[in-house]
Amino acid sequence: MAHVLAISSQVASGHVGLSAIAPALHSLGHEVTALPTIVLSNHPGHPHCAGIRTNPADLDAMLDALEANGRLDHVDTILTGYLPTPAHVAFARRAVERTRRHSPGARYVCDPILGDDPKGLYIVEETATAIRDRLVPLADVIVPNRFELAWLSGQTVTTLDETITAARSLATPEVLATSIPCERTAPAPSLATVLINADTARATVAKKCTAVPHGTGDLLAGLYAAEPDLGRVSAHVAHVIAKSLGRPELELVSAARSWDNIPPAIVSRISDAGEIETIWVAGVDGCRDGWVSVCHPLDQPERALAAFEAALAIHPQLSGANHNAMLLRRYLEEREI
């Protein structure tokens, strides 16, 4: 179980900001300490919206109380999201620094909520600049969308290779870039979620959907803050999107009930030329009514046992009754895969 200190927006109705992050992480057994930078009735995309920004001085007072109560002593990850003013950015930096004094190993995940396609910036440029200059260099991980990565790096981001170049130009050890076009290397229209560090780049690819409710970026950042597993996080977000298409809000609560049965998404390597590379291995066996084939990415052997165990959980009659199943289990366990 992870303890996440999350600083972002909050809504009374719907699932964006902290109202997406907290219930998602709670459903997975994680603990969330949530500090709202703004409290709204609902996402501003609805016809009517009301709310109020939290004064940074009040946030400082809340952080003082949390610190005095020992709530910063065992934080695993600090996550920042929506920050409406430069003063809120300054508070976020203070929160990261103070938390790390109590929990030196705490990761800092910065979701730089600046804007999106096609609107561009939807916070004032002064705030965006403060996030770029004051928070991004402090972060262990940043989670920008395509527009935000281009804005932060000052580079063009339209392809996978440009995404990697832009990410590595930033002073951040790890970049998890979302909504990256990848029609050149995947069936169109598709978007990639790309995890980039100094040495490697890996991606999951999903079909581009329309009529997706707001909040998927907040959800992805929150899940990755607690469980830095690209395949698992991507699968969870894709499942929520599939349940939510055409609806006014994310169907987060109902979708999360079936997360345990969702296999992780395929994570593929990206070559230096920006090409998605997945090496597959396939196994075939005969059965009474025909043939059964199982395919698995060869470059992800650590997934094999989990995927096989998931199959047995769905079909428990296979366990012990199928000789091939027992042999495969023994093979995987002997090799500690």
Q: Label residue 271 by pLDDT band (50, 70, 90).
A: confident
Q: What percent of the chain has pLDDT over 90?
A: 69
Q: Label residue 333 by pLDDT band (50, 70, 90).
A: low
Q: Same structural domain for residues 183 and 159?
A: yes
Measured between alpha carbons, how far is 117 from 333 in angstroms, rounded to an integer?
46
Give the domain CATH number at 132.
3.40.1190.20
Measured between alpha carbons, how far is 118 from 54 in angstroms, rounded to an integer?
28
Each residue's pLDDT tens digit, 32-87: 999 999 999 999 989 999 999 999 999 999 999 999 999 999 999 999 999 999 99
Q: Give me the amino acid identity at 299.
A: D
Q: What percent of the chain has pLDDT over 70?
A: 81
Residue 321 confidence (pLDDT):
43
Do residues 251 and 240 make contact, with C-beta atoms less than 8 angstroms apart? yes
Strands 77-80 vs 51-53: parallel, antiparallel or unpaired? unpaired
Q: Same structural domain for residues 159 and 23?
A: yes
Q: Same structural domain for residues 267 and 295?
A: no
Q: Same structural domain for residues 234 and 284?
A: no
| Nearest Cα residue to 67 out of 90, 36, 98, 46 | 98
Strands 201-207 vs 290-297: parallel, antiparallel or unpaired? unpaired
Q: Same structural domain for residues 258 and 226?
A: yes
Please name the residue ranges forming H helices in the chain: 18-27, 56-68, 86-102, 125-130, 146-153, 160-168, 216-226, 230-244, 252-256, 304-314, 323-334
Residue 272 confidence (pLDDT):
72
Beta-carbon count within 10 A of 147 CB: 18
Q: How far is CA 27 from CA 18, 226, 240, 247, 260, in A?
A: 14, 12, 13, 22, 10
Residue 314 confidence (pLDDT):
47
Q: Same structural domain for residues 271 and 284?
A: no
* Boundary (domain end) residue, out of 228, 249, 276: 276
Q: Label residue 103 by pLDDT band (50, 70, 90).
A: very high
Q: Is the pLDDT of residue 317 over 50?
A: no
Q: Running DSSP on this structure, what letter comes out for residue 186?
A: S
Q: Is the pLDDT of residue 322 over 60?
A: no
Q: Label residue 232 by pLDDT band (50, 70, 90).
A: very high
Each residue's pLDDT tens digit, 128-160: 999 999 999 999 999 999 999 999 999 999 999
Do residues 268 and 278 make contact, with C-beta atoms less than 8 angstroms apart? yes
Do residues 20 and 92 make contact, with C-beta atoms less than 8 angstroms apart? no
Residue 326 confidence (pLDDT):
54
Q: Same structural domain for residues 231 and 109?
A: yes
Q: How far is CA 280 from CA 173, 202, 294, 301, in A?
A: 29, 16, 10, 11
Q: Please give the residue range of the domain that contains residue 296.
A: 279-334
Give the pLDDT mean for 235-264.
91
Q: Same structural domain for residues 49 and 114?
A: yes
Q: Which of 160-164, 221-225, 292-296 shows the lowest mean pLDDT across its residues?
A: 292-296
Do residues 15 and 43 make contact, with C-beta atoms less than 8 angstroms apart? no
In the chain, count of helices (H) and strands (E)?
A: 11, 15
Q: Same structural domain for residues 42 and 81?
A: yes
* Boundary (domain end) residue, out of 276, 297, 321: 276
Q: Same structural domain for residues 191 and 326?
A: no
Crossing angle of helices 216-226 and 230-244, in 10° steps, is 150
Per the structure, the count of domains in the chain is 2
Residue of 45 and 88 predicted with greater confidence: 88
* Average pLDDT of the residues of the chain: 87
Rounded to two decimals, what is the model's pTM? 0.83
Residue 23 confidence (pLDDT):
96
Each residue's pLDDT tens digit, 150-208: 999 999 999 999 999 999 999 899 999 999 998 665 556 889 999 999 999 999 998 88
Residue with tokens 């409710």: 213
Q: Same structural domain for residues 290 and 242?
A: no
Q: Same structural domain for residues 122 and 105?
A: yes
| Residue count of the chain | 337
- Region at 98 (left for phi over 0; alpha for psi -120 to 50; beta for the rest): alpha
Residue 34 confidence (pLDDT):
98
Q: Is the pLDDT of residue 294 over 90?
A: no
Residue 178 confidence (pLDDT):
97
Q: Which two tokens stand for residue 302?
A: 């650590």
